[in-house]
Amino acid sequence: MEIVDLSHPLHTGMQVYPGDPQVVIEPLLHAETDWVNVLSVHMGSQSGTHVDSPFHVLNELPTLDQIPLQRFFGKWVLIDATGLSPRQSIPHECFTRENFEPDSIVLVRTDWSEHFGTSKYLEHPYPTLESLVFLLEKGVRTIALDFLSLDMTPANPADAKLDAHYLWSKAGGVIGENFMNLRSLTNATPIISLLPLNMGASDGGPVRAVALSDIATH
């Protein structure tokens, strides 16, 4: 059995959603002069691999500390949505051909994480509202993506819409974004942890996401 890391390393200047705070991580204290090494970390709650609470998009919805921990740990189902074009909607059949148990954690693999740090990363595919409704009807409340956002990220930021975020969040769902390395997973031992930092009544938080897998397929 192998523990597979699904999280992007945090580092200064890493790519963030347009308009989010930039990540700055730098030494603050030094062992040779201050007895200890300590980093100064400046970043947004949505930096790197992270989860959104429903409060991320609507003030009246639950904050991160109000989400049951079961939403962040359990069995996963992998959706293979590879081979898509920039800003293409993910075909509905990618979802309907899989079997889901209530409270399954759905991982959407597009391999768009390979473009992380480039302008092409903003051109990611995205699930349709039809597919999200299908998952909610199956009892799914956690979805994690190897790309930037549950909604399409348009070329013009003024054209941005959050319809998918609203739909999922109003159902009490959790959204994981900027995951990576989903190609290394098999369904043989489908257990994942995407527990976020305990940031209290927040819109979300960074995650060190890991999954158990018996065979790595690179």
Question: Is 44's pLDDT higher than 70?
Answer: yes
Per-residue pLDDT, 34: 98
- Single pTM value for the model: 0.94
The average pLDDT across 75-84 equals 96
Residue 36 to residues 29, 39, 130, 172: CA-CA distances in angstroms? 6, 10, 53, 42
CA atoms within 13 A on the CB side of 110: 29
Question: Is 55's pLDDT higher than 50?
Answer: yes
Per-residue pLDDT, 216: 46
Per-residue pLDDT, 190: 85
Structure tokens at 92: 């509905």
Structure tokens at 109: 């693999």
Q: DSSP readout, 19-74? A: TSPPPEEEEEE-HHHHSS-EEEEE--TTSSSEEE-GGGT-TTSPPGGGS-GGGGEE
Tell me whether residue 167 is in a domain: yes
Percentage of the chain surpassing pLDDT 70?
Answer: 96
Mean pLDDT for the chain overall: 95
- What range defines the domain where residue 82 resides? 2-8+44-213
Tell me whether residue 119 is in a domain: yes
Quickly state the pLDDT bin for 215 (edges 50, 70, 90): low
Tell me whether residue 86 is in a domain: yes
Tell me whether residue 72 is in a domain: yes
Closest CA to 145 of 170, 119, 109, 183: 109
- Give me the CATH number covering residue 98: 3.50.30.50
Measured between alpha carbons, how far apart are the two ends of the chain, in Å?
15
The average pLDDT across 42-70 equals 98
Tell me whether residue 103 is in a domain: yes
Between 22-26, 84-88, 186-190, the lowest mean confidence (pLDDT) is in 186-190
